[in-house]
Structure 1
Amino acid sequence: MKVLVATEKPFAAAAVDGIRQETEAAGNELVLLEKYTEKAQLLEAVKDADALIIRSDKVDAEVLEAAKQLKIVVRAGAGFDNVDLAAATAKKVVVENTPGQNSNAVAELVFGMLVYAVRNFYNGKAGTELLGKKLGILAFGNVGRNVARIAKGFGMDVYAYDAYCPAEVIESAGVHAVANQEELFELCDVVSLHIPATPETKQSINYDLVGKMRKGGILANTARKDVIDEPGLIKLMQERPDLKYVTDIKPDADAEFAQLEGRYFSTPKKMGAQTQEANINAGIAAAKQITAFFKDGCTKFQVNK
């Protein structure tokens, strides 16, 4: 079987070595398409691929149509909204992600941004501390659990809400479970977002919801850009100079947010999983999942069931 690794932003060399070792040990062929600059290059490369490993690369209906032999796509990372799931299902292509492999990297970035925010973005003026503050985690998956773990080390009081995670599971992790996301925003000084971009969540972090936050509140978004109602959040922050917003996903309205001087920060690009460890972990996990798929038909991490 031919396994294609198609990455505009390549994996680290150690990750590629691990992917190659796993792939070839299973008797499969590895082909690399790195730093490609045109979609046509991807369309050509997928023509005879049986499996595809990607990062943030887009796999749409056109790519799937070109990939006549494709049986499985693995997105090395947790999010998979860069893959057209409906088109993949129609082509009988299995789509998987690699949940948990970059969770600690994302969680650590959350706290890097939070410390930066409470210290007034290091502008030389006195800031505040995270110790004793109430942290709300919206969605208690792999990243959310790592955020909770780190928050306890900072001495924060941790709360969480997840529509799909039972309250007793949240409580068993030493975290306070709340009844809904409105309660989470009302209770907490800081809210960290870890929800996927779905029809239910898109634009859901809006004027009314964030407006429930306590004075001096901080919103951190390392989830997806689409979950934020950007015009609503800008309007709220203009009305409430006590609020801050930090994110590793540059908003469409970045210029407008930037006018909120001293209260907004965005990394230049998506940075949550950008560590050597996460890069290696996710790449090798993707290769192992492809090996298991071809060997045993394992689809444990399939997201388009």
Structure 2
Amino acid sequence: MKVLVATEKPFAKIAVDGIRKEIEGAGYELALLEKYTDKAQLLEAVKDANAIIIRSDIIDAEVFDAAKELKIVVRAGAGYDNVDLQAATAHGVCVMNTPGQNSNAVAELVFGLLVYAVRHFYNGTAGTELMGKKLGIHAYGNVGRNVARVAKGFGMEVYAYDAFCPKEEIEKDGVKAVDSAKKLYKDCDIVSLHIPATAETKNSINYELLKDMPKGGILVNTARKEVINESELLKLMHEREDLKYITDIMPAANEKFVDFAGRYFSTPKKMGAQTAEANINAGIAAAKQIVGFLKEGCEKFRVNK
């Protein structure tokens, strides 16, 4: 069995060493395709691969067509919208993610961005503190729970909305559950966004949802840019000069957002999982899941039908 690590943005060496230990220790061959610059290189590399570990790499129908021996793809990270799930299912390929491995890294980034924002991007003027502010968490999954944990350390009031997480599950963590996204955005000074990009959520963070945020409201997005209705957010930021938008996913309309000096910030690339610890954890988890699938048929983290 051949396991391919295909990463345009490579894992750290220590992560690759950990992956190698898991894969070769199970008796499988490990192949690396790192820093590739052309899709043709990926299509060639997958031809004889039985399993693939990826990061943000695009695995579409063309890749599945080329990978005749492929049985499983594992996305080292939580989001998996870079994999065509329908094509995977049509080709009989299992797709998994590695939930929870990047969660603390993303949560810490949320607060790095927030402190920067409430201190007016360190422009020398007096800002505000996070203590006592109401923080709303939109989606209470692995990242959301870590955000809540850190927020309590800052002395914030923490609220959460998740359509799929029971109220009791949220409130056992000392977080106040609200019954709608609308109420979360209306009541909270800051909203931290953690919903996945799905057919239902794309463009769902829109004018109607955001317009009632309190004066000085901040939206922080470390989820996916596709969930933001950019044109409607731009419209609202023109209307309300008190709102801030901070993100680690540069908007498609970045050149329009940069007009909001002092109210908008984006990192140059997605930074949520960019820590040594997250890099290692996600890579090794992906390797372990592949071994479990190939040896025992374990599909615990399967995301396609």
Q: Please tell me the TM-score bracket, short chain as reference.
A: over 0.9
Cα shift readout 1:98-151 (whole Å, capped 9, x = no counterpart): 000000000000000000000000010110110000000000000000000000
Aligned pairs (5 A) from 1:187-202: 187-202=187-202
Tell me which residue corresponds to 2:242: 242
Give how far 1:215 is off.
0.3
Tell me which residue corresponds to 1:92: 92
Aligned pairs (5 A) from 1:42-121: 42-121=42-121
Asked if 1:182 is matched to 2:182, the reply is yes
User: What root-mean-square deviation, in Å, do the aligned CA atoms of Structure 1 and Structure 2 show?
Assistant: 0.4
Tell me which residue corresponds to 1:135: 135
TM-score by length of 1: 1.00
SS at 1:165's partner residue? coil
Give how far 1:200 is off.
1.0
Aligned pairs (5 A) from 1:110-259: 110-259=110-259
**What is the alpha-carbon distance in structure 2 between the residues aligned to residue 69 and residue 200 of structure 1?**
33
Tell me which residue corresponds to 2:22: 22
- Bigger Cα displacement from structure 2, 203-212 vs 245-254: 203-212
**What is the alpha-carbon distance in structure 2 between the residues aligned to residue 197 and residue 275 of structure 1?**
23
**What is the alpha-carbon distance in structure 2 between the residues aligned to residue 295 and residue 15 of structure 1?**
22
Percentage identity across aligned positions? 75
**What is the alpha-carbon distance in structure 1 between the residues aligned to residue 133 and residue 33 of structure 2?**
46
Q: Which amino acid aligns with 2:288?
A: K
Cα shift readout 1:66-96 (whole Å, capped 9, x = no counterpart): 0000000000000000000000000010000
Q: Which amino acid aligns with 2:258?
A: A
SS at 2:73's partner residue? strand
Give how far 1:196 is off.
0.3
Cα shift readout 1:129-179 (whole Å, capped 9, x = no counterpart): 100000000000000000000000000000000011001100011100000
TM-score by length of 2: 1.00
Give how far 1:199 is off.
1.2
SS at 2:159's partner residue? strand
Q: Which amino acid aligns with 1:231?
A: S
Give how far 1:303 is off.
0.1
Q: Which amino acid aligns with 1:295?
A: K
**What is the alpha-carbon distance in structure 2 between the residues aligned to residue 254 and residue 24 of structure 1?**
44
* Structure 1 gap segments, 5+ residues each: none
Report how many aligned residue pairs link the two structures: 305
**What is the alpha-carbon distance in structure 2 between the residues aligned to residue 47 and residue 147 of structure 1?**
41
Give how far 1:212 is off.
1.3
Aligned pairs (5 A) from 1:2-21: 2-21=2-21
Q: Which amino acid aligns with 1:13?
A: K
Cα shift readout 1:223-255 (whole Å, capped 9, x = no counterpart): 000000001001101110000000000000101
**What is the alpha-carbon distance in structure 2 between the residues aligned to residue 164 and residue 65 of structure 1?**
35
* Structure 2 gap segments, 5+ residues each: none
**What is the alpha-carbon distance in structure 2 between the residues aligned to residue 200 and residue 34 of structure 1?**
34
